[in-house]
Amino acid sequence: MTKLSVILPTYNERENIPELIDALHATLSPWNWEYELVVVDDNSPDGTAGVVRSRYGDDPHVALLVRTDGRGLATAIRYGIERATGDTVVCMDTDFNHDPAMIPQMVKFLEFYDLVIGSRFVMRGGMEDRFRQFSSGVYNFGIRLLFRTPVHENLSGFFAMSREKILSMPLDDIFYGYGDYFIRLIMVSWRRDYNILEVPVFYRLRMHGHSKTQFVSTLIQYTRALFSLWIKLWQGRMK
Return per-residue pLDDT of the chain as tens, 239 residues.
Answer: 799 999 999 999 999 999 999 999 999 999 999 999 999 999 999 999 999 999 999 999 999 999 998 889 999 999 999 999 999 999 999 988 999 999 999 999 999 999 999 999 999 999 988 888 898 899 999 889 888 889 999 999 999 999 999 999 999 999 998 889 999 999 999 999 999 999 999 998 755 555 555 567 777 887 888 778 877 776 776 66
What secondary structure letter does DSSP report for 237?
Answer: -
Helix, strand, coil in percent for the chain, rounding step 5 = 45, 15, 40
User: Which pLDDT value is given to residue 178?
Assistant: 87
User: Which pLDDT value is given to residue 47?
Assistant: 96
Structural domains in the chain plus CATH codes: 4-234 (3.90.550.10)
- Contact status, residue 47 vs residue 41, Cβ threshold 8 Å: no
